Structure 1
């Protein structure tokens, strides 16, 4: 009787602790980003005030033009809703949203069939597998495709800006320089700038075409290029010098990213080892002596312990991911 009473107390307690840990793991990154955004906003306000006092010799009309351009670009990017078609466009996929939904449903059905007829999971496990296969896995793959394409775009962007700088210094107009990039640059840079060239032939300005490219490539580097060209077309200035400075900034950002990746490699390796240790040990014990570990899967208490352990493992993985995910 005493053991039953102890279990009746420990089971709700462990469930509450697991739920609290999961909520903390999911909610903490959003609160942390909010505090970081507030700190960055305050620092940016101080730097803007100092910059305004230090550049008082600039004409007020030019400063107003720069401020209006920045505000307009921020408003456009903030009000744009990220739809599934836009995500597919960012990934460089020719698939339509309808085809994506059909493929997701087929993948969920395939994984559910495997879990029922081959793995012989219970109904609850099959529902979880179908949900993950139909909703989680396809979107995870889509996000990976978007990130990989954006990284390739950023890696090639500084060289493309150098092509524009050399072309402008040699006397070519900006339109011809962009056409050179669209013809001779590797993918995905060539296809994105080719879209700008096609839009320009339809009567759209270069600045508007680059702003549309910002929707397909929502990257800080792309926003820098759009702001530089938009401000130069509105208020004038030495475009080649501004773009050369921008290319140097982009290379410095890439060097910083590589440095951060090198410094965080040890922490990432430790996180991978710690995350793979429990399932690895469980698999080895199951292969060596299945009867010793089977009560975890055949008894109610064992299944509850596995569920609690999985929740805590997920909590630890998310916290470690937050700790080694640097933003700069």
Structure 2
């Protein structure tokens, strides 16, 4: 009897375990199938690309065209002819390269007369002929652009006062060319002359931006273009533009004041090694002589010049804040 009850109990235990395993397996299988179906749906949904509306496509095309246009304009403003226009010089590129060649040849001849090696004289002549005139031209263009930017808010105020007093925009621009100082007067005279010759204001401002590639000129062109297309109070818009430009100038001056210590440190660190070389060369020429006469010294000078140039370039990037 006991044996029969034990066998029956064992059969029930085995049956319950089997049902449990079978039910768990079917539930697990159903869960797995459900997860796979959900994953499949999510995968298919994730593979579906969202539909792009025509407005989004047009917006992307406009942004792409604007980026390409800005990239082309930046390349155009880096040429020698553009730099000469920014410096207020005539765009005689051939004469510029002739002067550069004369400078390079003069430096080469001077180095040969000082009994330097021909390779060193050639390198110095090439560097002086190719880099020195462009560097001077860049300084002249930067100074003229800086003076133009400093006086530009006053020009906007003149236009605002002229419009409020009833003058047309063209006459207000002509007043700027007659009453202000250079380089602001010359650029606005060219602008009014172009408009007077029949060119539209947009193309005249594009030419002005090529001569003076500053954000202020771009803002001015955008404000005039929007006002021509949509209308509105031009005096108020230009007044707001003048306020924004003055705020940018104040922010730039604040950044310059806060970064003055870093700029001074960079100048000191960059000028210290050449100053030490000149000082030791003047005090003990025999000590520094092998650096300029021995080939190993030439290699050391070249390596030192390379690393110094790299360090100065890095420091310039770190302290050059753009607003």
- TM-score normalised by length of structure 2: 0.76
1:77 deviation in Å? 4.2
- Identify the residue that residue 50 of structure 2 maps to in structure 1: none
Matches within 5 A, 1:161-310: 161-310=156-305
Distance in 2 separating the partners of 1:242 and 1:286: 62
The superposition leaves residues 37-86 of structure 1 with CA deviations (integer Å, 9 ceiling, x where unpaired) of xxxxxxxxxxxxxxxxxxxxxxxxxxxxx999998776544334524322
Distance in 2 separating the partners of 1:151 and 1:311: 31
SS at match of 1:249: helix
SS at match of 2:90: coil
1:94 to 82, 90, 96: 90
SS at match of 1:94: coil
Distance in 2 separating the partners of 1:272 and 1:151: 21
Matched, 1:115 2:111: yes
Structure 1 unaligned residues grouped into runs of 5+: 1-65
- Identify the residue that residue 127 of structure 2 maps to in structure 1: 132
4+ aligned runs moved over 4 Å, structure 1:
66-77
Given the superposition, is the C-alpha separation of residues 276 and 248 from structure 1 closer, same or farther in structure 2, using an over 3 Å criterion? same
Distance in 2 separating the partners of 1:223 and 1:235: 18
1:278 deviation in Å? 1.4
- How many residue pairs get aligned? The number is 262
Distance in 2 separating the partners of 1:287 and 1:134: 28
- Identify the residue that residue 84 of structure 1 maps to in structure 2: 80
Distance in 2 separating the partners of 1:277 and 1:227: 47
Structure 2 unaligned residues grouped into runs of 5+: 1-58
Distance in 2 separating the partners of 1:142 and 1:209: 25
Given the superposition, is the C-alpha separation of residues 67 and 166 from structure 1 closer, same or farther in structure 2, using an over 3 Å criterion? farther
SS at match of 1:203: coil
Given the superposition, is the C-alpha separation of residues 70 and 149 from structure 1 closer, same or farther in structure 2, using an over 3 Å criterion? farther
Distance in 2 separating the partners of 1:172 and 1:292: 74
Does 202-211 or 189-198 show the bigger shift? 202-211
Contact 1:286-1:293 at 8 Å conserved across structures? yes
The superposition leaves residues 287-307 of structure 1 with CA deviations (integer Å, 9 ceiling, x where unpaired) of 222222222223333322222
Contact 1:210-1:226 at 8 Å conserved across structures? yes
Q: CA RMSD in A?
A: 2.2
The superposition leaves residues 165-195 of structure 1 with CA deviations (integer Å, 9 ceiling, x where unpaired) of 0111111110110010011111111111101
Distance in 2 separating the partners of 1:219 and 1:72: 20
- Identify the residue that residue 151 of structure 2 maps to in structure 1: 156
Matches within 5 A, 1:48-87: 76-80=69-73, 81-82=75-76, 83-87=79-83
The superposition leaves residues 266-287 of structure 1 with CA deviations (integer Å, 9 ceiling, x where unpaired) of 1111111111111212222222
| Larger relative contact order (CA 8 Å, sep ≥ 6) | 1
Distance in 2 separating the partners of 1:324 and 1:287: 33
Given the superposition, is the C-alpha separation of residues 148 and 176 from structure 1 closer, same or farther in structure 2, using an over 3 Å criterion? same
Does 299-308 or 278-287 show the bigger shift? 299-308
Distance in 2 separating the partners of 1:180 and 1:76: 31
Contact 1:69-1:231 at 8 Å conserved across structures? no
